[in-house]
Amino acid sequence: TKAVFAQPEVGLGITPGYAGTQRLPRLIGRGMAAEMLYTARMVKADEALRIGLVNRVVEPEELENAALATARLIASKAPIAVRRVKEALNQGLEVDFDSANEMESLQFSLCFTTHDQKEAMEAFLQKREAKLENK
């Protein structure tokens, strides 16, 4: 709730480096990104949440526990599927929609070759926890 976000570079007479002009519009849209990049305006946590710059806002003393809870939730899922989602998400943003859709289809089909996919679907149908083995 106390965090602020900004791209202050234009106030320093430079452009953002490290893909700041590329990442920000992909996260929050061109219009809002342009405003932040052109003005170097600081965005408070509540606005960052509203515009999609952050997923959640927590009190500073809750930050570590919230991050660990999210990490544990991700770690409880099928590791191969999580990796494939990460690949599809990251690579898909670098290409056109049709190519990204092809990448996603490939990742989807590859998941069906894993033990964890079979176990997870069987567990779902049996209404029990899956015993995932990263295979």
What confidence score (pLDDT) does residue 120 get?
94
Condensed to tens digits (0 to 9), the pLDDT of residues 35-55 reads 999 999 999 999 999 999 999
What confidence score (pLDDT) does residue 1 get?
80
Maximum alpha-carbon separation in the chain: 61
What structural domains does the chain harbor? 4-62 (3.90.226.20), 77-125 (1.10.12.10)
What are the C-alpha distances in Å from 69 to residues 55, 65, 73, 75, 76?
14, 6, 6, 10, 11
Q: What are phi and psi of 74, to 5 degrees?
A: -65, -45
Whether the CB-CB separation of 54 and 48 falls below 8 Å is answered with yes
